[in-house]
Amino acid sequence: MASKLQQFQSKACQASKFVARNGTAYYKQLLEENKQYIQEPATVEKCNELSKQLFFTRLASIPGRTESFWKELDYVKNLWKHRSELKVEDAGIAALFGMECFAWFCAGEIVGRGFTFTGYYP
């Protein structure tokens, strides 16, 4: 166990040195590649304006998202009405999707319990 800890410490030290050497160059490169998204001057007023723009843009997208939801729901209803024509591939995809949703639910439960399988902490 002590040797594993020592190996981990040495790897962490190497990673820290790598970031110290190359982190600034990566930061500058990232800013240079994305300079069209940077607002100058960066003031509190500008940040408030951008946050309001994001909020109202998201708010304006709600009708389109609800329309998409109802289209998807109509598609599922149509599949259910014509389930005798359902292909095995479609049923398999639906089953895999359901299993994936259940797996994510279980992962969320485990995280919510503090990464334990037995129960919640008191």
Average pLDDT rounded to a whole number, residues 82-109: 92
At 6, the pLDDT band (50, 70, 90 cuts) reads confident
User: In this predicted structure, what is the pLDDT of residue 98?
Assistant: 95
| Per-residue pLDDT at 9 exceeds 90 | no
Q: How far apart are CA 81 and CA 57, in angstroms?
A: 37
Peptide bond into 41 cis (omega under 30): yes
When computed from its CA atoms, the radius of gyration of the chain, rounded to whole angstroms, is: 25
Question: Contact 113/119 with Cβ under 8 angstroms?
Answer: yes
Q: What is the pTM of this model?
A: 0.47
Q: How far apart are CA 27 and CA 40, in angstroms?
A: 18
At 121, the pLDDT band (50, 70, 90 cuts) reads low
What are the DSSP calls for 20-87, one per residue? HHHHHHHHHHHHHHTGGG--SS--HHHHHHHHHHHHHHHHHTHHHHHHHHHHHHHHHHHHHHTGGG--
Query: Residue 103: helix, strand or coil by DSSP?
Result: helix
| Per-residue pLDDT at 119 exceeds 80 | no
Q: What is the pLDDT of residues 51-86, one digit of tens each?
A: 999 999 999 999 999 999 999 999 989 988 998 888
Helices (H), 82-122: 88-112
